[in-house]
Amino acid sequence: MPTPLDLIKKKRAEAVSRIIGKGYLSTKRVYVGMATCEIAAGSKDVMEVFQKAISLGLTDVYLSQKGCAGRCNLEPTVEVIESGKSPVKYGKVDKDRAIQIIERHLKNGQVIQEWVID
């Protein structure tokens, strides 16, 4: 009889598989903040920009949402985590900045230093 501990470990493995199946191991993972404060600052529009880009053919990107990271005065925030590179956190991202991030960072690998929170 599997114990609850056995079962949860199995569940964890299955969950990880599912995440990988969704493309978690892609080269670029993009997280858009979607807490109430972020949404109030305009992150829904930002999310739509990324979603649209993916539907128009932007590949190798795992797009997800995240909760509040605590950087309230710099919202909306967008994190870009790339394999082999340090994670990059952008602050005060609006629709224009989002488009720039897609073009310059995601498509051309160029971190836009002025917008990075560090």
Partner 1 sequence: MATTYGIIVCDGTRCINSGARTLTLALQEQLDRHGLRDRVTISLSGCLGMCDKGPILVVNPGYTIYGNVTEADIPEIVEEHLVHRRPLARLAIQEDHLYNRFFRVFGDENFFGKQMRIALRNCGIIDPENLDDYLSLRGFEALAKVLTELTPEQVVAEVEKSGLRGRGGAGFPTGLKWKFTAAQKATPKYVICNADEGDPGAFMDRSAIEGDPHTVVEGMAIGGYAVGASKGIVYIRAEYPLAIRRITKAIEDARAHGLLGENILGSDFSFDIEIRLGAGAFVCGEETALIHSIEGARGMPRPRPPYPSVQGLFGRPTLINNVETWANIPVVLLDGANWFRTVGTENSKGTKVFALAGKVVNTGLIEVPMGTTLREIIYEVGGGIPDGKKFKAVQTGGPSGGCLPEGYLDTSIDYDSLARAGSIMGSGGMIVIDEDSCMVDIAKFFLEFTQNESCGKCTPCREGTKRMLEILVRITEGKGQPGDIEKLERLGDTIQKASLCGLGQSAPNPVLSTIKNFREEYEEHIHEKRCRARACTNLVTYEITEKCVGCGACRRVCPVGAITGAAKKLHVIDQDKCVKCGMCFNACKFDAIVKV
Measure the CA–CA gap between 65 and 98, rounded to whole angstroms.
15
Tell the smallest beta-carbon distance from residue 60 to partner 1 (Å): 11
CA dihedral 91, 95, 98, 103 (to 10 degrees): -150
Please say which residue, 7 or 95, places its beta carbon nearer to partner 1: 7
Q: Is 79 in the site for partner 1 (CB under 8 A)?
A: yes
Among 99, 101, 90, 22, residue whose Cα is nearest residue 62: 22
Stretch that binds partner 1, among 49-57, 84-92, 94-102, 104-112 (CB under 8 A): 84-92
Residue 115 amino acid letter: W
DSSP states of 71-103: -GGG-S-EEEEETTS--EEE-S--HHHHHHIII
Tell the smallest beta-carbon distance from residue 65 to partner 1 (Å): 5
Residues 6+ apart with CB under 8 A from 1: none
Q: Is 11 in the site for partner 1 (CB under 8 A)?
A: yes
Q: Is 100 in the site for partner 1 (CB under 8 A)?
A: no
Stretch that binds partner 1, among 2-10, 44-52, 93-101, 103-111 (CB under 8 A): 2-10
Residues lying near partner 1 in the complex (CB under 8 A): 1-5, 7-9, 11-20, 24-25, 27, 31, 33, 35-37, 39, 64-74, 79, 81, 83-87, 89, 117-118
